[in-house]
């Protein structure tokens, strides 16, 4: 077991170097990847792949995003300690844990009850500051709005109006938008009716789907 941990530690250092080489320069993102152990977010038969730059399977046909995608979105979000961040698409809880390790107060919404519950069980042990909510991300999470940052980790058909509304003035939203492939957009809310927008290339995400579900 000790040897296993030692091997995983080496693999983690290598992954962080790879992220750096691919253009992740925000030291707080890299420090969070050092702190949060990705293998804890996948089943044990996948541990030897947990620090490769790959998306891995979760239950219910969902995936934990590529480490590079998680790092890239986290960097685009320009997280500051104390930021209130809303995440849409909890999945494994890994992205939420990275943002929390960067000092954000994280609220994360998941539409699949099984995934929500298993992330909840895990994060209660690893990082109990993260607030998880079983709901439909198209509605956001009005209870704790406004948020200084919003990150969507599933491919959205369009930018949901509720999310624009729940973003604080001066806040930043990072969201992949499209039908088959998804263009990464960063939206800054300049004031209540004015938004600035930049795009950052195409990515592949699982689709953002409407309404909560409870499937085994």
Contact by Cβ (8 Å): 160, 137: yes
Catalytic-labelled residue, pool 44, 65, 118, 181: 65
3-state SS of the chain: helix, strand, coil percent to 5?
40, 30, 35
The structure tokens listed for 71 are 């790092």
Q: Tell me whether residue 92 or residue 148 sits nearer to ligand SAH (CB atom).
A: 92
> Least distance from C-beta 46 to ligand SAH, angstroms?
13
- In sequence order, what are the residues at sequence separation of 6 or more whose Cβ sits closer than 8 angstroms to the Cβ of residue 9? none
Binding site for ligand SAH (CB under 6 A): 62-65, 88-89, 91-92, 94-95, 109-112, 115, 136-138, 153-154, 206, 208-209
Cβ-based nearer residue to ligand SAH, 40 or 186: 40
- Rounded CA-CA distance 68/78 in Å is 16
Q: Which is nearer to ligand SAH, 179 or 192 (CB)?
A: 179
Min CB(195)–ligand SAH separation in Å: 21
- Taking the complex as a whole, the smallest distance from the CB of residue 97 to ligand SAH amounts, in Å, to 8
Longest dimension (CA), the chain: 56
Q: HSE on the CB side for 123, CA within 13 Å?
A: 27
**Shortest Å, Cβ 98 to ligand SAH:** 8
Q: Who's near 208: CB < 8 A, 6+ residues apart?
A: 88, 89, 137, 138, 152, 154, 155, 156, 157
Residue 65 among the catalytic residues: yes
- Taking the least distance from each CB to ligand SAH, the nearer of 196 and 202 is 202
Q: How many residues does the chain have?
A: 216
Active-site positions read: 65
């Amino acid at each position: 077991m000790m040897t296993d941990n030692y091997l995983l530690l080496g693999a983690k250092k290598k992954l962080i170097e790879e992220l750096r080489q691919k253009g992740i320069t925000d030291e707080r993102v890299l420090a969070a990847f050092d702190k949060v152990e990705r293998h804890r977010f996948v089943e044990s038969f996948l541990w030897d792949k947990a620090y490769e730059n790959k998306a891995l399977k979760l239950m219910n046909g969902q995936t934990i995003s590529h480490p590079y995608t998680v790092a890239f979105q986290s960097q685009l979000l320009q997280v500051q300690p104390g930021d209130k961040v809303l995440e849409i698409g909890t999945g494994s809880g890994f992205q939420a844990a990275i943002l929390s390790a960067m000092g954000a107060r994280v609220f994360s919404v998941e539409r699949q009850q099984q995934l929500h519950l298993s992330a909840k069980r895990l994060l209660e042990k690893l990082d109990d500051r993260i607030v998880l909510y079983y709901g439909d991300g198209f509605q956001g999470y009005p209870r704790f709005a406004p948020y200084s940052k919003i990150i969507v980790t599933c491919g959205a058909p369009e930018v949901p109006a509720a999310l624009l509304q729940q973003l604080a003035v001066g806040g930043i939203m990072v969201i992949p938008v499209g039908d088959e492939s998804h263009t990464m957009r960063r939206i800054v809310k300049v004031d209540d009716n004015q938004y600035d927008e930049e795009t950052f290339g195409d990515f592949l995400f699982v689709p953002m789907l409407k309404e909560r579900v409870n499937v085994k």
